[in-house]
Every structure is written in C-alpha cells, then in structure tokens.
Amino acid sequence: MRRQTLTPQISQNYPQRRPIDEVSPHRVFVKNTAAEVIPPYACLRVTGTVETGGRTTLLVEKPSSVSGEFVFNGPYEIPALADVGVGWAYKYEIVVMLGTSTTPTAANVQYKPVVGSFAIVEGAGPFVVFGVHNAATNAVIGRISGGATVERGKVIT
C-alpha cells in the first residue's frame, strides 16, 4: 500500500493565493496624482495611465468633474504622490463608497461624484446606491452603473 501526500493547501487549510501583482478582474492598481492622502472608499476620477514598477497603473485624482470614468478606493488609505501614492481600487460591481452625512432616501437611488471631494451625493449619475454600509462613517454600498438605467434587459440612457 502506498501513502499519498496531500498538498499543504488541503492538509493545513491554506488558501491558494494569487501573486500580489496579478491583476484582478475586479480591482486595478492606481497611483494618486495629488499631494493629499486618498481616504478609504473614496471616489476617484481616472486621468490616464503610467507604468509603475513594471505594471500599468491608472492615474487617479479627486473628482474635478462629474463626467469621466471613476473607480473606488478599497478599505486602505492611498498615500500622497510624494510618499509613493500607489494602491488598489475597484472598477466595477458592488463596492463600498464614501457618501455624505445624509442617509440614502431609498434603495436603488442614483448618485454622482462631488467635484472637489472624494465623496458621492444623491443625484443623476453613474452610481446606484442600495443603502448604508457599516464599514465606515458615511459609507454606502452600491455599484458603478455607468449612468444608464436598465429596464427588463434593455439599456435606457
């Protein structure tokens, strides 16, 4: 009879982890272009790309306009550009977002970026907020929808 050795992931319940430099379909590397720290769950406007450490990285800023492409920071601050300024952001699907001090009026309400702020506010925009999230003060949970409304399988812009 022969004994078979199990892999460490099975025998010791270790998860198989992706290398840190592997890009996830849900998140991307971002570089802070400002001289200020980006807070957790911040709304970030994409301004371009740059190669950082051999990886393509999105350049992001505090929203200077309500139009453009947006991503949301994760649960960690991104240092200012002078300090390194690189982190992760989420580019689609359901994410936690930094809202304002007001509670969403209802579920599935459209939100938009606030110019000059990392927060989002209720109004016609590219995000749909489902409600309050307990991750942080003023955190809401929702998705990046691109500003279109979907009705029974067809997109209404």
Q: For the segment 70-109, what is each residue's pLDDT rounded down to a tens digit?
A: 999 999 999 997 667 888 898 888 899 999 877 787 889 9
The amino acid sitting at 12 is Q
For residue 40, give its domain range.
Answer: 27-90
| Whole-Å CA distances, 44 to 9, 108, 120 | 37, 21, 10
Instruction: Give dist(CA 120, CA 63) in Å, integer.
Output: 10
Of 100, 115, 104, 106, which is closest to residue 41 (Cα–Cα)?
A: 100
Residue 150 shares a structural domain with residue 101: yes
Q: How confident is the model at residue 48 (pLDDT cuts 50, 70, 90)?
A: very high
Residues 141 and 98 in one domain: yes
Same-domain check for residues 125 and 85 = no
Domain end among 90, 111, 140? 90
For residue 147, what are the CA distances in angstroms to 15, 24, 35, 105, 126?
37, 24, 29, 18, 4
Is there a single domain that holds both residue 73 and residue 102? Answer: no
Its pTM surpasses 0.85: no
Interatomic CA distance for residues 27 and 57, integer angstroms? 11
Q: Is residue 22 one of the residues assigned to a domain? A: no
User: Which of 67, 90, 113 is the last residue before a domain boundary?
Assistant: 90
User: How many degrees, rounded to 5, is the angle at CA 80 between CA 114 and CA 38?
Assistant: 35
Same domain, 104 and 69: no
**Same domain assignment for residues 112 and 130:** yes
Report yes or no on 8 lying in a domain.
Answer: no
Distance of CA 31 to the CA centre of its chain: 13
Residue whose structure tokens are 């270790």? 14
C-alpha angle with apex 31: 68 to 124, nearest 5 degrees? 25
Mean pLDDT of 134-142: 88
pLDDT at 154 over 60: no
Same-domain check for residues 86 and 127: no
> How many Cα neighbours within 13 Å face the side chain of 150?
9
Question: What is residue 59's predicted lDDT score, i.e. its pLDDT?
Answer: 94
- Which is it for strands 154-156 and 149-151: parallel, antiparallel or unpaired? antiparallel
Confirm whether 7 is domain-assigned. no
Q: Give the rounded percent of residues in the chain with a pLDDT score beyond 70.
A: 75
Task: Give the total number of structural domains in the chain.
Answer: 2
